[in-house]
Structure 1
Amino acid sequence: MIFLIKDNRRELTLKHKIAMIQLDIHYGDTQTNYTRASTFIDKAVKSGADIILLPELWTSGYDLTRLDEIADDQAKESIAFLQEQAKKYNVSLVGGSVAEKCDDGVRNTLLVVDSKGKLVHKYSKLHLFQLMDEHVYLEEGNDKTEFELDGTDSAGFICYDIRFPEWMRKSALNDAKVMYVVAEWPKLRIDHWRILLQARAIENQCYVIACNRSGSDPKNEFGGMSLIIDPWGEVVAEGGLEEEIVIGEVDFSLVEEVRKRIPVFGDRREERY
């Protein structure tokens, strides 16, 4: 359900129903993952969602040694898939991230498509996670994280990024009201996932909407527990360990309310740090 407020500047969409597809990704099997994502998107739309998230590297999983074979050239196939789904259902997609084959190597790239099918943002993961050999097989990104989606200033991050609060604070200072996170976060450290995401929401006084994968691959077991956290740090919706669609409602007008009640940004001592 979408509620619209008219003003002289633009039509603002403040309330959304969010669906996070906590996919159990088929290792290295891109065509199966496209098919299964399409099925889950259909189910999410039928639940009333108007913004849908997919997890990190949802087309391939961490099949890093075969990236030369399975990475998506300039992410063209993945973008076309997301655009088709967005236009078919009139829904916005924070389309997880995919292995994008670029001129200088492969990047882990987040894709965002609006309800008209327009590609509104690409962000390639800046912080590569050495414990999963990302630095061996992937090139780091240098894109900015901010974009506008459905009239709301937003930002997008990938998994390990949430351990770098200074990286996410930059987007908050640029007025991001919601931070979307897509991940393949291991079950072994799932407590860190929840705590770090709540901290990022509280300190930046914004929504954090985080979609993690479920299931396992040959080397790792993943933790699920996709989350929607409001600017007070309260959990709005939370998934379990298994494959599912996690749904929650948000009201982005709460961000301004929280920032006015506790004016953290106005009290920063930028000259000191």
Structure 2
Amino acid sequence: MKLALVQHNVVFGDPDTNYEQVEALIIEAQKNADVIVLPELWTTGYDLTRLDEISDTQGETTKHFISDLAKAYKVHIVAGSIAKQTESGMYNTMLVYGPTGDLLHEYDKAHLFRLMDEEKYLHQGDKTASFSLGTVQAAGVICYDIRFPEFIRTHMINGQQMLFVVAEWPKPRLDHWRALLLSRAIENQCFVVACNRAGSDPANAFAGHSIIIGPWGEIIAEAGEEATILYGEVNLGHVDDVRSQIPVFQDRRPTIYDVQK
């Protein structure tokens, strides 16, 4: 599988410009990729106070936009996340599309990040995010979700081979970003494909460092801080090799694990 992670410098509060820029980046990325990944909130950035004005009602604009591009270039697109306005409120929603333009999965961010006031403007989701990319079993989560290993494990116990992470992760906690992603890859013996944004907004500088990690914890590709497209290639058979050597999933004892305390 050939991957392209679009480390976009999101324009704060300007969906029209972001759509234009991301379209050009997807057209470039599809030349060398089967799967394209976008960052979190790439249409609006963290302009949370204006989401009522600039969010996407039911995600319809973005859904048509990504569907058309996936179909035109016959690629899978893990389309980061967007601010989606619904009758019940605003959600930070991941979208995943297949090469025929079909919506494969839609996931609302489960853990809201209080340090960036998400809980004041967004509703939390209550579902997991497992899906298939053709024959590949995968899952996807959003940014702060990776700090909850028990949540990630619920995505990986049914044979999933890849974990996609989309983020707007701040630069001051870059070390946490890398350490958490490496840990999630090693403990779940899976590929981790994590796309972060580049650049800054009025309140934050972002870390970049989108990364592809193998099931041994090996770094396959990693970007720097600047806006770029990060490319990498993975062999999904490597997951089964690793899991056969150290049978973590067979050796689990969930009856003695109590994560409710």
| Aligned mate of 1:250, from 234, 243, 247 | 234
Matches within 5 A, 1:115-130: 115-130=99-114
Q: Secondary structure at the match of 1:140?
A: coil
Question: How far is 1:236 from its partner?
Answer: 0.3
Where does residue 161 of structure 1 map in the other structure? 145
Where does residue 64 of structure 1 map in the other structure? 48
Which amino acid in the other structure matches residue 36 of structure 1? Answer: Q
Which amino acid in the other structure matches residue 53 of structure 1? Answer: V
Where does residue 209 of structure 2 map in the other structure? 225
| Aligned mate of 1:52, from 29, 33, 36 | 36
Which amino acid in the other structure matches residue 202 of structure 1? Answer: I
- What is the rounded CA distance, in whole Å, between the counterparts of 1:61 and 1:271 in structure 2? 42
1:266 aligns with 2:233: no
Which amino acid in the other structure matches residue 200 of structure 2? Answer: S
Where does residue 11 of structure 2 map in the other structure? 26
Q: Secondary structure at the match of 2:239?
A: helix
- CA offsets 1:206-231 (integer angstroms, 9 cap, x no match): 00000000000000000000000000
Question: How far is 1:175 from its partner?
Answer: 1.6
Q: Secondary structure at the match of 1:195?
A: helix
Which amino acid in the other structure matches residue 33 of structure 2? Answer: A
Question: How far is 1:143 from its partner?
Answer: 2.2
Question: How far is 1:102 from its partner?
Answer: 1.0
Question: How far is 1:104 from its partner?
Answer: 1.1
Where does residue 2 of structure 2 map in the other structure? 17
Where does residue 163 of structure 2 map in the other structure? 179
Where does residue 94 of structure 1 map in the other structure? 78
- CA offsets 1:68-106 (integer angstroms, 9 cap, x no match): 111101101111010010011111100000000011110
- What is the rounded CA distance, in whole Å, between the counterparts of 1:75 and 1:101 in structure 2? 7
| Aligned mate of 1:42, from 12, 24, 27 | 27
Which amino acid in the other structure matches residue 108 of structure 1? Answer: N
Where does residue 202 of structure 1 map in the other structure? 186
Which amino acid in the other structure matches residue 151 of structure 2? Answer: W
- What is the rounded CA distance, in whole Å, between the counterparts of 1:45 and 1:267 in structure 2? 40
TM-score, scaled relative to structure 2: 0.97
Moved more, 144-153 or 25-34: 144-153
Q: Secondary structure at the match of 1:66?
A: helix
Q: Secondary structure at the match of 1:136?
A: helix
Q: Secondary structure at the match of 2:234?
A: strand
- What is the rounded CA distance, in whole Å, between the counterparts of 1:104 and 1:271 in structure 2? 36
- What is the rounded CA distance, in whole Å, between the counterparts of 1:44 and 1:260 in structure 2? 34
Which amino acid in the other structure matches residue 23 of structure 2? Answer: S
Q: Which runs of 4+ in 1 moved over 4 A?
A: none
Structure 1 stretches of 5 or more lacking a match?
1-15
- What is the rounded CA distance, in whole Å, between the counterparts of 2:252 and 2:172 in structure 1? 35
- What is the rounded CA distance, in whole Å, between the counterparts of 2:120 and 2:102 in structure 1? 32
TM-score, scaled relative to structure 1: 0.93
Question: How far is 1:144 from its partner?
Answer: 2.1
Where does residue 131 of structure 2 map in the other structure? 147
Which amino acid in the other structure matches residue 112 of structure 2? Answer: L
1:211 aligns with 2:174: no
- What is the rounded CA distance, in whole Å, between the counterparts of 1:242 and 1:124 in structure 2? 28
Question: How far is 1:174 from its partner?
Answer: 1.9
Structure 2 stretches of 5 or more lacking a match?
none
Where does residue 81 of structure 1 map in the other structure? 65
Which amino acid in the other structure matches residue 62 of structure 1? Answer: Y
Matches within 5 A, 1:99-118: 99-118=83-102
Question: How far is 1:149 from its partner?
Answer: 1.0
- What is the rounded CA distance, in whole Å, between the counterparts of 2:3 and 2:134 in structure 1? 13
